[in-house]
Each structure stands twice: as structure tokens, then as C-alpha cells.
Chains A and B, each alone.
Chain A
């Protein structure tokens, strides 16, 4: 079943993208406000959608919003921030059941108006946000930031990135910091809100069985708030010289150690070699056919999981695994050996072939998921390009062994992070 995309520029400069397909039983609306990621504003950006989703002028409190969403057949609404490179994106999302299954033709109009109300008609007192909501959501955000330690695997990856990118915007946690929360109140958050609305690049995505021109007209009529000068988002700095890898060992009362390696790939997402980098990461640690899975898990029985993944927009690669604490050195050596094999070109044609197939399958699967499709086209919007999933698969399939080995030479280990416990004896430096 076909998927067609249509791009429009609305009167007020907002980019509207329509992904038209009959495949799903749902219609999906996503609105993204792009902000530069930095320590100073990250917490403001993270708090803002949390306060905004609590109420607006047409739905005065949260219970009214929740009842409205249930009334329109359990529409799924959320507002949050996401991090893509050194870009912090404030996103508002609404998923609804397609009107043809409920007999209610007004669902799409209701959904669009609701989103616009949340975004452009917030609840205010004088020149600020409702102070109760601000205080409640500050507390919730604080819990969330501190709650990072609950998931040790995620914590170890985040800490590895923080250590590796110290001094760079990318070290900023997507939800900001608890320190910054103290300085935020209803008034300065509202000032920030006005700037977000007027000065951010905005992308709207509408996905589903919709008529593109008609929905464009509707969207333009509804999302008609005035904008100011739109600020450009600076590009990430990808290249960084490394003299010697950093080793960071942190201790917590845990049973299993978590090992994370941070590497620089020197490859930007718009680099023509980026598809080759995807292939490299897949061969190294992209699934059960990968070197890390086979060697750390299957051969050495050291771990249940061991993988490598890319931080696309910042040109980083993270390797991660959960191991017995005493096996730190052993697991690290195996990982370094795999990196070295990649550099030396010790890659079989079977590894290359399997990884190409694995990537093609997971990329094609994007077409079956409204969320992943939206995310794919958001990536295009960020990089200002128009490439389809099939084109990306083609470039990956065209990649040759020598290109993979060439990419391997660019990849440098920056940081070794290990989450251990207090029982761990001192370790020698590598």
C-alpha cells in the first residue's frame, strides 16, 4: 500500500508534512518545536510541555482534558521533549482512531483544534502560567531526572555520554537538571513559552488516511498564531581529537556491572558515508549476527546483552553490556578486540551480507509503524533532505567491504565507563 508525502509551508512559516496512507486504523498528529540543546534552557524546555498539557483556556483542568480524550475514542495525547543531537525538540502528539471506524466525522477537526488550544491558548494568570501546575510539574520533573538511576543500563549509557562530552552541549540531559529547577517560576516559564512559540522552527506531521489539500487548509486555518524571527539551530561539532581514552568507574550498590564505551565516529548524518557507518555499527553490534553478540555473549558467556548503537546527529557510537563485576577487564578486552578486528578488516563476507539484510529488514519495518515513519521524516526535515527508506537501503546495499574498513579507521574510543559496586577492587589503567 502506498505511502505518499506532501510538504507545505503554511502562511506563518510552519512546515507541514502530510504522510498519506490507508494502511492504519488511526490518524497521527505530531507538532515539533526545535530548540538548541544547552544547559541554560534544557530544563525550561523539559518543563514547558509538562505544564502545557495540564490545561488550556478551553479545558481548564486536567480532568477535563482526560475526559475529552476518552470521549473521542481514547485519543492518545502526550507532550514531551526529545533529544536529537544537540537539538532539544518539544513535541506534542495526538493519535486518534480514524473516523471511519467510529462514525464520528468530526474527530479530525476536534483533534486539530484541541492541539492548537493546548499550544496557543494556555492557562495563564496575569503574565504567567498557573503556579500550582508549575510547582507540581517541577516536582514531577525532579523525580524524573533523579529517577534516571532506576534503570541502570540507561543510566550507564547516559553517564558515559556525559563524561565523554563534558563541555559540549550534547552532555546535557534531555530533561535538564534539578539545580536549574529552583530558578523556574510561572512568570519566567511563560516568557520562555512566548519565545518558543514565536522563535522556534516548527514542523507539523499528519499521518493517516487523509486528503492532503483539505487537511492543509484546515491546519493553516487553525494553527494561525503569529510568529517572530525564527532562530536557526546550530550544527553539531562532530570532529574531536582524542589523545587517550578516559576511564571512569562509578560505584553503586548493584549486583551487575554495566559497561558502556563511548566512541567518536567522525561522521556526520549528512556525510555520504553515513550509510556505511550504519553498516559498520550493525556488523559490530547490531543484533544476533554481530561481533559483540557472538563474542561477548555466545562465545564467552559473559553477558545477556551486548550491543552497539549510533547517536546519529552527534556522530557518536555507544557500546553497552551488563556483566559480572569481576569480568570487567575480560569483557572490555573482548570489546576492544572486536573494534580492532573491524579496523583490521577482519570481517567476513557473510558478516557483511547478514548485516545488510538485517538493516534492510529493520528499515523496511519503519513503514509499518506510524511513530517510526514520523520519526524518519522528522530526520529528513532536520537534515533538509528528501530521501526515502528504499533509497537508504539501496545505499547500504551498495556499500563495499573496503568502505566499511575505511570507516573503521575514523572510529576512536573516547570514554570507558563502568558502573561497579563497592566490592570491586581497584583496577589497573588500560
Chain B
């Protein structure tokens, strides 16, 4: 067992690698009432083309299948998993994003029983033609719900504008059409490929006993003869550095236009501390450029061009990344012009080092505050771990950020040719 500790922030994480390849994390939180476990596979909606280990040719499956699989794992012979968690007084849930599928529960007692159940149901698929068919109606309504949701549409339209080929441009749940053709055979194929312990991790947090937790995990796998296996080979299409289209608009029932301005990252293909540093540097930069304490944000706000819905964020994955900023505005294109102006000005004049120190203090505070929220730590930590990032090092890496790092990133990332804007306009 490896001990990952950061005594300055009073946090400790135990890491244990099982023989079958599964990585187990335990983060004790004495005094917390709730326990939380998340069991995840490094497999998401982006993984639609891969080598399954049996065929020489890559397999291609329908969009939305990872999410469909997530729904179906909750089903088992003779009942629903929800019911068995309910009997233990626990709440179970799951989510799928571009890169990961996660199953989780929160409990306030009977943690080890719940843990057993979690491992048990994820490790035992039960797909039939009938139960696959039944799920299509439910997921179609989930997709419809998102099609009517302007906040969701403005985001996915932006990804569609930024990316020509990369699967991140597709909706996580697929489309009503793409899911219609999904079969139980395809679900089993994806399951066998991606739900191998070697491609998975489990993270537990709360007032729990680490020995008992690890024993429970070991026990759960004791009767399973799982052959060792290497990493899954995923095939992603080539993606050019520049954007697919600079502007995308859609009309929906909204009161005022919504928009996202995105910058596609061209500095990609890294993981671990290098990726974490890029992530943090970009976060610092976004705060300095367009955070609430920046001149640009305040002047846009005072001129009525943006309102409190404005937000900014950077997403940094191994093979892709993007910054986005946006919210509601009567004049999104004007906001884009003003932000580009500010970027070009800072490229000339350089950034202010006083702003850097203040923004670093703010980001340290945000990180410390996030350690209160035990359910979000678990999913954030595990997503980072799949990228070889140890989140507990965040304060150290943040501290190392220099103004030269930030200015270099400014010049490299915030370029007009990497920029696109997505706008949702009110229906006329």
C-alpha cells in the first residue's frame, strides 16, 4: 500500500494495486457522516473505435453506447440494483462523460455491504434483448431533455465548432437515431473490452476503516478468475489544430442569447504532473484575463455586455483540451471582440505579477474549500488518477507557477485560429 500524504492540508490517501490490475484508493475523513464510493472505468463516450483483442481490425460501435451500458448495468436478473441499495438505505447513481463511466453510492451506515453490492453489480452484466429495448425509451427522453436544454446545446455546439473529427464533438448520450440500433451483443463487447480491472479504479472516502475496505474489495474478486491483460488500444481520428468552424448558431426558446467562446488546445498529448501544471497555468491565466477581478470582466459587466452568468473554464484531457468562456449576452460577438482585444493587449504589454499572486491565493482557497465536499472529491480524484495526476499535489504545483509560464501559455493557446463561438439565439 502506498501512502499519499499532504500534511499541510491534513489529507491522506492510501493507494493499493490489486494483482488483477484494479487500483484502490481510500481517503479517510474522520467525523464525516456520509461514506462514498465510486467505481469507475477509464471508458467514456469518446471510445467508439478500438481493438477488442480478438479481431485484427478495429471495432466501431454506435455513439452513446458507453452511456447506454451505464444504464443497463443497473439491471440484473429478477430486479433492479436501485432496490438493493434502497434496502441498505443507500443512494446509488452513475454517470458517463467523455472519458469515464462511474458507478457510485453514498451511505451513512452499512458501508461495506454497499461496497460489496457496488462491485458485485458492476462486475456482473445482465443484458437481454428485452431489457435493452426497454431502455431505449428512457434514454430517448433523456436525450430529448438535453435537446431542449439551451445550456447543454450551447456547450455541445461549441465542441462541434472546435472539432472536425475528434469524438468529443458528439453528445455523450448519442442521438435518438444512434441508440436505436444498439444490441446486447455490442454491449457485451464494450463491457468485456473496457470493464477489466486493469482499466478500472475504485475510490472510497468517509469515516471508513482502510483494512476492512480493502478486504471487502479483495473478497469480492476472490472467486473471479480474471486473466491479466494489458491496456486497451483505442483509436482516435486525426484532428487538425485549427477549428472546424468559427461560428455556430442555433435558435431555441430562450429569453436572451447564450454563448460560449472556445479556444481549442494545440499543446496536447501529455499526462501526469505535466498535464496538471498545464491545467493550473491555464486556470491562472483565465482568472487573470477574464476572472471577476480583471479589468476586462468588469468593463464588460458595466457595459451590460455580460451578466453574473458569465463563467470560464479549462478542460485538459490527455488527447484534447479547450478553454471556454461565456454566459448570456445581447451581443455575444461584441464580447468576443472585446476579449480578443484584451488578449492581444496582454500579449503586447505582458501580465501583471501582482495579479498572479492574488489569483494563486484565490485558487489555493478554492482547492481547500473543495476538500469539504466528499462526493465531488471522489469523482474529481479518480478522473485525475486516470490521467496519472495526483490531485493532492495541487497546492505544490500551483505554488510553482511563474509569470513566465502564464505568459507563454497566453501566446501559445489564445490564438484567433483556435477560437470559435457558439451562440443560442431566441426564436424569432
Contacts and interface: CB of A to CB of B under 8 A. Distances in A.
Interface of A: 1, 22-26, 61-63, 66-67, 69-76, 95-97, 101-102, 132, 136, 139-140, 143-144, 146-153, 252-256, 287-289, 293, 297-298, 301-305, 322-324, 350, 353-354, 357-358, 360-362, 364-365, 367-370
A7 to B, nearest CB: 23
Contacts of A362: 91
B138 A303 contact: yes
A365 B291 CA distance: 33
Given A150-B150, A360-B89, A62 B31 contact: no
A64 to B, nearest CB: 9
A63 B292 CA distance: 7
A253 B425 CA distance: 13
Contacts of B144: 255-256, 322, 324
A382 to B, nearest CB: 24
Contacts of A66: 291-293, 298
Contacts of A74: 361-366, 369
B64 to A, nearest CB: 14
B108 interface: yes
Contact of B142 (A25, A69, A153, A304): A304
Interface stretch (B47-55, B79-87, B386-394, B413-421): B79-87
Contacts of A365: 33-34, 106, 108
Interface of B: 8-10, 30-34, 80, 82-83, 85-92, 106-108, 134-139, 141-142, 144-145, 147-151, 252-256, 258, 291-293, 295, 298, 301-302, 304, 307-309, 328, 358-359, 361-366, 368-369, 371-374, 427
Contacts of A256: 141, 144-145, 147-148
B148 A255 contact: yes
Contacts of B108: 360-361, 364-365
B361 A70 contact: yes
B363 to A, nearest CB: 7
A356 to B, nearest CB: 8
A22 B31 contact: yes
A350 B84 CA distance: 11
Contacts of B372: 24-26, 369-370
A61 B89 CA distance: 50
A73 B368 contact: yes
Contacts, number: 185
Given A22-B31, A322-B145, A361-B108, A288 B369 contact: no
A147 B308 CA distance: 12
Given A73-B368, A139-B304, A301-B134, A289 B83 contact: yes
A121 B88 CA distance: 52
Contacts of B85: 288
A71 B359 CA distance: 8
Contacts of A25: 9-10, 368-369, 371-372
A66 B108 CA distance: 38
Nearest first, the 4 A-B pairs at minimum CB distance are A1-B31, A74-B365, A357-B89, A301-B137
A167 B405 CA distance: 60
Nearest to A68: B293
A212 to B, nearest CB: 19
B141 A354 contact: no
Contacts of B141: 256, 302-304, 322-324
A143 B327 CA distance: 12
A118 B89 CA distance: 44
Given A139-B304, A358-B91, A63 B298 contact: yes
Contacts of A289: 82-83, 86
